[in-house]
Structure 1
Amino acid sequence: MSTADSAFRDNLTMLRRSLLHARRYPSLTLNLLLTPVMLLLLFVYVFGNVMSAGMAGGHADRSHYIAYIVPGILLMTVGMTALGTAVSVATDMTEGIIARFRTMAINRASVLIGHVVGTVIQTMLALALILGIAVAIGFRPDATPVEWIAAAALMALVSLALTWIAVGIGLVSPNAEGASNLGMPLTMLPLLSSAFVPVDAMPSGFRWFAEYQPFSPAIETLRGLLLGSGIGTKNVLLAVGWCLGLTLVGYLWSKARFNREPRQ
């Protein structure tokens, strides 16, 4: 068997392990999904009319704010799921299973790739669930089939980028609790973006950060795709650039950290 065939087989084995682990221990995934679901319901049913009135010049129409907030909630879900990966990787590192893998004749990168691909698959399933809830409470996307494909590709790309960063966080954390704390930016940055209110409505000193941080361009691009509105070349370039850059940094960081000597 060639080296490439062996590596592919090892990747599939580790992917299967990741998916089986998620199926047998669903509590972590459910806990991470609970936050975006609760935020969606809270902002729609408690703040929806007020926020819609502020964004629509005094006309209170909850459906307007539902359309605005759902893309942000979707990408917040991506961050939440990636945080779960950081916790899972940290758990593997501290429970000794990685030390056993190091002694086996397997491709080393497959251990990390299994986590990443498994998380991307779980993320896409979670996004389908969140989208279903959003449609049930009044979200009405206006995307063409091509725009739906582009939206799915964007969410998968964001998931890939954040998951590689999460893997690095898990590798450098002393335990699962440490990984959860170090990974908080993955869940906090969407709150400091255009997910809930337009960037133009923010204080001038904060607006620049909110506009150019990783989540805002991705949210604006996704919002334009799902609602059939304008996207803007700047948002697309920033979103794709952030994703590719974070993926590269996360991969190199994770690979370098994983190839170090095992923890004592």
Structure 2
Amino acid sequence: MLLMFRFMFGGAIDVGATTYINYLVPGILVIAVTMISVSTTLAVQSDMQEGVVDRFRAIAMLDSAVLTGHIVAAVIRGMIALVVMVGLGLLVGFRPSASVIEWLLAAAMLLLFAFSLAWVSAVLGLVAKSVDGASGLGLILMFSPYASTAFVPAETLPDGLRAFVEHQPVTLVVDTVRQLLLGRPVGDTGWQAVLWWVAILCVAAPLATRIYRKRFAK
């Protein structure tokens, strides 16, 4: 996707004062995290179907350890994907202007996003009735960045769509990471993104744990 938009569509999209590849890469980083979230949804539902949880319950371990393992694995996969995508972006012309502090802040924002989204994915995996159902629910997350500023500026969109894109939480992550990597002021976008995804985490993590314990209550 990075290569396709970089070499096929990038020349037709005006993003103002920067190059399209500089505009594109932060959006691709967010997309990479959301695509990985689908695998978490499927993995959780697969555990529910295959009976592996029943075997784990025979071991002296915390009830939440199964979910925690999936969350940690998702975050690790996400971080690996982000490193790979940044490297590929640099190879095809991405030239960030961020300081060390701005890189660290961008990484922290993506880590919060990956962690929160992993818990949302776990909830979807737990409420799905089958692996196919989990796959369908996971697509909701996977396509959420496409209705954001990942590929084009919000001001180029029709009014109704623009209003949605500008205020949905994935756009806030994309814009925050983009501004940080390009060495620009983040403004209110940064704290709004953190507030949104901390709130989502505070809802999703307890909800996933509750559903899991209720489903496998002794």
TM-score range, shorter chain: over 0.9
TM-score, normalization by structure 1 = 0.79
State which of 42, 46, 66 in structure 2 corresponds to 1:87.
Answer: 42
* 1:107 correspondence with 2:62: yes
- TM superposition shift of 1:90: 0.6
Partner of 1:25: none
Deviations 1:56-100 (A, max 9, x none): 49xxxxx71000011000001110111111111111110000111
* 1:206 correspondence with 2:146: no
State which of 250, 257, 263 in structure 1 corresponds to 2:204.
Answer: 250
Partner of 2:3: 41
Partner of 1:9: none
Higher RCO (C-alpha under 8 Å, 6+ residues apart): 2
Which structure has the greater CA radius of gyration? 1
Q: What amino acid maps onto 2:5 in structure 1?
A: F
Alpha-carbon distance change, 223 to 261 in structure 1, aligned in 2, over 3 angstroms: closer
Aligned to 2:136, what secondary structure does the other structure show? helix
Q: Distance in 2 between matches of 1:112 and 1:56?
A: 43
Map 1:89-168; keep pairs closer than 5 Å. Answer: 89-168=44-123
Q: Distance in 2 between matches of 1:225 and 1:56?
A: 17
Deviations 1:172-210 (A, max 9, x none): 112222111011121111000011111111111111110
Q: What amino acid maps onto 1:55 in structure 2?
A: V
Partner of 1:68: 23
Q: Distance in 2 between matches of 1:143 and 1:56?
A: 18
State which of 133, 136, 156 in structure 2 corresponds to 1:181.
Answer: 136
- TM superposition shift of 1:169: 0.6
* 1:55 correspondence with 2:20: no
Identity over aligned pairs, percent: 38
- TM superposition shift of 1:143: 0.8
Q: Distance in 2 between matches of 1:49 and 1:122?
A: 31
| Equivalent pairs, count | 217
* Structure 2: unaligned runs, 5 residues or longer: none
- Contact kept, 8 Å, 2:15 with 2:23, in 1: the verdict is no
Q: Distance in 2 between matches of 1:55 and 1:89?
A: 39
- TM superposition shift of 1:251: 0.6
TM-score, normalization by structure 2 = 0.95
